[in-house]
């Protein structure tokens, strides 16, 4: 049976962003700009470039700036139009014109699994993507597209993973997995044997860390409903996947590209510097500026 098409992407954005306080006290971290776009827009554009235009954003209290960002701003558009600032007008309209966004609230930040579960009604009985907006991924083929290709091949849930130094594994979900053949190679796709959330380095089954991109199937909702709060007292998506693994195979892809954890101060700075250097309009001047810094 061929795999059903992935048409929707869920963006959990109801977390408290404590790593970025005080900036996130009155402003969602998903709206912090990397160069000139809010963090969340990178993920939304990645979904669009992967062929997904139905976006479901899970929000919470204090997150209305996200809704405003993807909404039409008549006042701003009128202002730009009347002053013939058409290039800026196109930039403002670019993404919101192409996507269909719905919102659902997570009243309390009870964990990533809980946030995903809030999207159940909007997702319905079809496969869907999950994008953690904090993870900004720079890749030639969008990371979600890489996952969707593997999902279509195996007709099974797929997670994005990357190798991390063993001492950092306790910040991530970690997989125990065996490589499988895919597109003539055996070092890109894995069949998962087990998963564990935030293991101690000495207990981690591998150095393969789960990052913020998933293709899931609707049976995950039932699994989320069954799991008890895990690491940090939160309903963990990793624990629900572990349960789902008992009834079906799940795969992981070592994606090609560079991932920045923009929800973390250092990762945010790295994303800002590297993405600014790649920009046609800014890169050359910014490079000159950086060269002039007396770095030792």
Shortest Å, Cβ 260 to ligand UTP: 13
With beta carbons less than 8 A apart as the criterion, state whether 47 and 144 touch. Answer: yes
- 173 versus 263: smaller Cβ distance to ligand UTP: 263
Shortest Å, Cβ 18 to ligand UTP: 3
With beta carbons less than 8 A apart as the criterion, state whether 89 and 97 touch. Answer: no
- Name the CA dihedral angle for 181, 187, 189, 190, rounded to a multiple of 10 degrees: 90
- 50 versus 238: smaller Cβ distance to ligand UTP: 238
Largest Cα–Cα distance of the chain, in whole Å?
62
Strands 208-216 and 251-254: unpaired
- 107 versus 186: smaller Cβ distance to ligand UTP: 107
Give the integer Cα–Cα distance in Å for 264 and 153.
34
- Name the residues that contact ligand UTP, by CB under 6 A: 12-20, 58, 106, 109-112, 114-115, 132-134, 263
Shortest Å, Cβ 127 to ligand UTP: 20
Shortest Å, Cβ 254 to ligand UTP: 21
Give the integer Cα–Cα distance in Å for 144 and 137.
10
- 189 versus 262: smaller Cβ distance to ligand UTP: 262
- 159 versus 189: smaller Cβ distance to ligand UTP: 159
Shortest Å, Cβ 119 to ligand UTP: 10
- 189 versus 220: smaller Cβ distance to ligand UTP: 220
- 10 versus 189: smaller Cβ distance to ligand UTP: 10
Q: Does 22 sit behind a cis peptide bond, omega within 30 degrees of 0 on the bond before it? A: yes
Helix ranges (DSSP H) in the chain: 39-49, 64-69, 74-82, 86-98, 112-117, 120-123, 143-154, 220-226, 237-244, 265-278, 283-291
Shortest Å, Cβ 122 to ligand UTP: 14
Q: How many CB atoms lie within 10 A of CB 28?
A: 26
Shortest Å, Cβ 109 to ligand UTP: 3
Q: SS3 of 11, please?
A: strand
């Amino acid at each position: 049976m061929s795999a059903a098409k992935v048409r929707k992407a869920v963006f959990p954005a109801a977390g408290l962003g404590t790593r970025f306080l005080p900036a996130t006290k009155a402003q969602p971290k998903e709206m912090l700009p990397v160069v000139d776009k809010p963090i969340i827009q990178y993920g939304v554009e990645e979904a669009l470039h992967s062929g997904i235009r139905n976006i479901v954003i899970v929000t919470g209290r204090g997150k209305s700036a996200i809704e405003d960002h993807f909404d039409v701003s008549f006042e701003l558009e009128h202002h730009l139009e009347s002053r013939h600032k058409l290039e800026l007008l196109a930039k403002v309209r670019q993404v919101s014109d192409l996507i269909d966004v719905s919102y659902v609230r997570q009243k309390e930040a009870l964990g990533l699994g809980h946030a995903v579960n809030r999207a159940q009604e909007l997702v319905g009985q079809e496969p869907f993507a999950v994008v953690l907006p904090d993870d900004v991924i720079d890749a030639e083929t969008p990371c979600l597209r890489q996952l969707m290709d593997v999902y279509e091949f195996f007709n099974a849930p797929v997670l994005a993973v990357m190798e991390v130094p063993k001492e950092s594994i306790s910040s991530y979900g970690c997989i125990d997995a065996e490589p499988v053949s895919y597109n003539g190679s055996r070092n890109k796709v894995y069949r998962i044997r087990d998963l564990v959330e935030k293991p101690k380095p000495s207990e981690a089954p591998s150095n393969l860390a789960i990052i913020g991109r998933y293709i899931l199937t609707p049976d995950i909702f039932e699994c989320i409903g069954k799991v008890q709060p895990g690491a940090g007292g939160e309903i963990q998506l990793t624990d629900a996947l572990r349960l789902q693994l008992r009834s079906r195979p799940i795969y992981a892809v070592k994606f090609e590209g560079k991932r920045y954890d923009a929800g973390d101060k250092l990762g945010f700075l790295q994303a800002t510097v590297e993405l600014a250097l790649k920009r046609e309009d800014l890169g050359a001047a910014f490079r000159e500026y950086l060269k002039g810094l007396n770095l030792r």
